[in-house]
Amino acid sequence: MSLFEVLKVLPTDYVDYGGEVKRWADNSLDYPDCSRGCRFFVKLMEPHSSDWGVCSKKGAPRAGLLT
């Protein structure tokens, strides 16, 4: 099972970037996300730690969710 199959998508995701973003739709673009240095991003253990984690910011829209 892929983590994409259980990932919850919220209407507030990517609001700061203009709304809906189709990640990896264009290989020439950079897609900013939580794994790029957010202090509230908690990485998953191997084998999913490369780009997956959980938001630990209390009160945030993605708090406690896979991101």
Give the pLDDT confidence of 3-62 residue by residue, as tens digits.
888 888 888 776 666 666 666 677 777 666 676 678 898 988 888 777 788 999 999 888
Question: What's residue 30's pLDDT?
Answer: 66
Beta pairing class for 53-55 and 41-43: antiparallel
Question: What's residue 24's pLDDT?
Answer: 66
Domain of residue 53 covers: 1-67
Question: What's residue 51's pLDDT?
Answer: 77
The rounded distance, in Å, linking the Cα atoms of 64 and 50 is 18
Question: What's residue 11's pLDDT?
Answer: 80
Question: What's residue 15's pLDDT?
Answer: 67
Question: What's residue 56's pLDDT?
Answer: 93
What total of structural domains would you count in the chain? 1
- Residue 66: strand pairing partners: 54
